[in-house]
Amino acid sequence: MSIVTARKVRVLVIDDSASVRQTLTSVLQSDPGIEVIGTASDPFIAAKRIQEEIPDVITLDVEMPRMDGITFLRKLMSQKPIPVVMCSSLTEQGTETLMQAMEAGAVDVILKPKIAAADHLAEQASRICEVVKSAAQARLRQRPAGTVRSASASGPAQKLTADVILPPPSGKAMARTTEMVVCVGASTGGTEALREMLEKLPANSPGIVIVQHMPERFTAAFARRLNDLCEVEIKEAADGDPVLRGHVLIAPGDRHMLLERQGARYHVSVRTGPLVSRHRPSVDVLFRSAARSAGSNAMAVIMTGMGDDGARGMLEMHQAGAYTVAQDEATSVVFGMPKEAIARGGVDRIVPLGQIAPEILAEDRRR
């Protein structure tokens, strides 16, 4: 009997730093499902390598000599779209530039790997490999040239559940009150999907809390960018922030966000802790906390992304009486997280991306 071996994800690494190219290559090739087929120090050398062999994924530095990463990305997406993961350092300027990269067609972002404590380096390596493999599954569309919007190294880490952060719901559905809170989870492709969804919401929309898988600091720039574009007020969540009508809180990168209730009011708790479903922040943690604290007062939305983060939590919210919605396959960049949530039986309705905002408003009117 023959054994079919899955083809490795072929990656081209583009960075002007030789040490970063070497470290990133080492991290990626520590995963048996990834093969680095080449490296390049700038986009001109990269273009020649792409002519020789088309990679499945490109990791791209933002700032490089001769041509910056954003310009190269726009050219690439207008000519021959290839999934691109932006690789950046934790600079304030870099985080703002990365928002332009996501709008130009990049599917995700990773931090440049650096020597750190063993546990942290393993977490870095695990996320980098997961993001690259996820990007390989992304469905891309060709974009017009120049389109710009105006306004673990030792192998996969143990996959923990939300149990490491808080216990499961009691099973008793909470009585419905007048205020609804919307909990949203997204990953690969989520930055642009969230923008499209949030831009459709009016200023008096129900309070929304969001987990989007992103590294630390990038979530603050992401929130600022969305706040400039949308009628609702959007910010990176801080511990103790209230959940208010017309406001959106986005979980900070590298921190879990939980929904908590005091009397008739909701607020968020932002805390550290182990990776859950290999993520921090984790959608499962947010959804479980909502099942415990909000029950049928909540609505859950799970959007584009690879893996199963959020699937267990959405089922728990569904069982607690919340209304649950999943983005459909046709409009998802990666139909992993919604697919897993649907398979577990935790989804009430499946809708295209353009219908999510109207669905939130319709559910708000029903209450």
**Collapsing DSSP states into helix, strand and coil, what is residue 154?**
coil
Neighbours of 120 (CB within 10 A): 11
Look up 309 and say whether it is catalytic: yes
Closest CA to 21 of 58, 73, 53: 58
**How far is it, in rounded angstroms, from Cα 146 to Cα 29?**
34
| Distance (Å) of CA 191 to CA 25, 100, 210, 231, 295 | 26, 11, 11, 17, 27
**How far is it, in rounded angstroms, from Cα 215 to Cα 6?**
29
Look up 119 and say whether it is catalytic: no
| Distance (Å) of CA 337 to CA 21, 79, 119, 303 | 31, 29, 26, 7
For 77, the token pair is: 């997406």
Q: Which of 213, 247, 267, 279 is catalytic?
A: 213
Read off the amino acid at residue 148.
V
Work out whether strand 298-302 and strand 181-186 pair parallel, antiparallel, or are unpaired: parallel
Q: What is the DSSP string of 85-120?
A: EEEE-S-HHHHHHHHHHHHHT--EEEEPP----HHH
Pair 247, 227: CB distance under 8 Å? no
Q: Is 52 left (phi over 0), alpha (psi -120 to 50) or beta?
A: alpha
CA angle 283, 289, 295 (to 5 degrees): 115
Q: Which of 187, 205, 277, 289 is catalytic?
A: 187
Q: Which of 293, 309, 318, 332 is catalytic?
A: 309
For 282, the token pair is: 């984790």
Look up 213 and say whether it is catalytic: yes
**Catalytic site positions:** 187, 213, 309
